[in-house]
Amino acid sequence: MPCKRRIPHSTRLDSPRLTLPRTVFSSLRLPRPYAYGVSDTVRLVNLFRVKSIETALEQTHSEGHSLKRGLGVWDMATLAVAVAVGAGIFSVGAQAIASHAGPGAILSFIIAGAVCAGVALCYAEFASMVPAAGSAYTFTYTTLGEFIAWIIGWDLILEMLMAASVIAKYWGLYLRDFFHLMGVDLVTQWQIPGGLTIDFAPVVIVAFFTALLVVGTKISSRFDAILTVVKVGVVLFIIVAGFFYFKPENLVPLVPDAQPVAASASSAAAGSGASGALATLEQPLLQWLTASQATMYGWSGVLSGAALVFFAFVGFDIIATASEEAKDPKRTVPRGIMLGLGIVVLLYVLVTLVTSGMVSYTQLAAVKNPSLSTAFELVGASWAAKIISFGILVGLTTVVMVLLLGLTRVVFAMSRDHLLPEKISRTNEHGVPVKLQIVSSIVVALIASTLDLSVLADMVNIGTLSAFVLVCVGVPIMRRKRPDLERAFKAPGSPWFPVLIALACLFVMMYLSVLTWIRFLVWLAVGIVIYFAYSYRHSLLEGNFEGGAEKA
């Protein structure tokens, strides 16, 4: 049966052939069994057709597919702080001190913050040129072409879907812990026939924020701002309280001598069968490629610590997904990104400094899965545990909301380009994609309430970093292709600075496990199948190109 689809007159083109950019793919020919009702031809497939900036901006005003603008600089900065200052600030810092860098974790946070600042500058330039929903997906679509944009969009869906599910899951765990500290045993989990455990706490938090987001991002951002103020207040209280237990001698040496990493249980069995294979899959890709022994502490520990804490900064890219909802986005978004990231870097460095000074890194290393509360317990300040527990609960609450927002905005952008079904990008009279928000939230709630997602946590990281790499590479490409475009903000040192930041992100990715890379490649393979089976022939740009670029 031929595929029939209504094609807007403005997107039709009778050109029988398309010309690719001069790449190794230029000679690629794939069969297309259906071409708008004509099933016979073998056409030249243009994987790198580019959506013009003008088209991306015009779509933000299309009836029924546009978002309401109402967010200012502080709203955007609050989004970044809300998602970044989450569980990471209470746990990742202590883990970096104990298992990676010792007091040198302070340097790890500075290095990670510097890399994130470089990525933020690239995001800010793109956001000032293309203030449209979709973040890295939209930016890539206008520079590297549709196929690469699809890959990045597919990565971002993975990142935000898994991240929202994991955070909602752990919100339920911390909710129970908080009530336990208050002397109340809260039951949110039930066993059902078949041995499956259902946790209703994630469903509650996802449903609550879905209702807020359906009402509109301005209202939800105000609520988010209130929770963020409370969360940052708790963090500042911890910093001040920690300095009363601060001992400068705990910071000496700042970078301890390197030591071999103790073999884990799986590594100890590495000499036989499946256990050995599992140990190989769990080691960092860089270690596997170089066949080198993993170490902790020393300067290599500082760098591996930077790889660990890098993900605690993730959040400014969420701002870019909401660019279309910002007032005067060409100025609001860059300022919001830099302001939010600056606040996050300052808070993280201060918390790490306090934690390193309160107790020796060897004391933290003796505790399994140490957190910030561990440091207070070791100095006899157990009263702080309740405050920290409350801060974690509030922190995760805001992260859930922002990730739900980011997930729907990426899917919204891909749907509006018809790479995903177009109907799901419909907005209501208030400029909110209600159906998409509800469907996305249902998926998140189902995953969070039924599955243990800790094994997939690194999938969030690799999806994020791959998007960062392509955004950084896209900056010099767009400078060369479209020097005429107005840029309210410019990343410095192009092309060398953006390329250097992209390489830094790749270096961080090399510290992710072999198994994470395998899962990532499987996810990409599924996405590629979907692209050629559906997205390519339904794309809004299909038939509207000549010579590999969009026709005016």
3-state secondary structure of 260: strand
Give, in order, the Cα–Cα distances in Å from 552 to each of 51, 55, 131, 276, 531: 11, 9, 20, 58, 25
Task: Please state, in angstroms and rounded to a whole number, the distance separating the CA atoms of residues 145 and 459.
Answer: 24
Contacts of 444 (CB under 8 A, 6+ apart): 161, 164, 165, 168, 206, 404, 407
Backbone angles phi, psi at 199, to 5 degrees: -110, 115
Q: Which residue has the higher pLDDT, 272 or 260?
A: 260
Distance of CA 1 to the CA centre of its chain: 40
Q: Which residue has the higher pLDDT, 520 or 405?
A: 520
- Binning pLDDT at 50, 70 and 90, where does residue 38 land? very low
339 shares its domain with 381: yes
The percent of residues in the chain predicted with pLDDT above 90, rounded, is 6
Q: How many structural domains compose the chain?
A: 2
Reported as type and span, the H/E element at residue 241 is helix 217-243
- Binning pLDDT at 50, 70 and 90, where does residue 442 land? very high
pTM score: 0.72
Asked if residue 2 is part of any domain, the answer here is no
281 shares its domain with 346: no
143 shares its domain with 154: yes
Q: How far apart are the first and last CA of the chain?
A: 33
Q: What's the whole-number average pLDDT of the chain?
A: 74
- What average pLDDT does range 215-228 have in this prediction? 67
Residue 458, pLDDT above cutoff 80: no
pLDDT at 6: 43
Dihedral of alpha carbons 162, 165, 82, 77, sign: positive
- What average pLDDT does range 174-190 have in this prediction? 78
Query: What does the CA dihedral 139, 161, 524, 511 come to, rounded to 10 degrees?
Result: 90
Asked if residue 1 is part of any domain, the answer here is no
43 shares its domain with 93: yes
Instruction: Find the domain containing 281 and state its range.
Output: 259-292
- The residue among 450, 440, 456 whose CA lies nearest residue 207 is 440
Asked if residue 508 is part of any domain, the answer here is yes
461 shares its domain with 445: yes
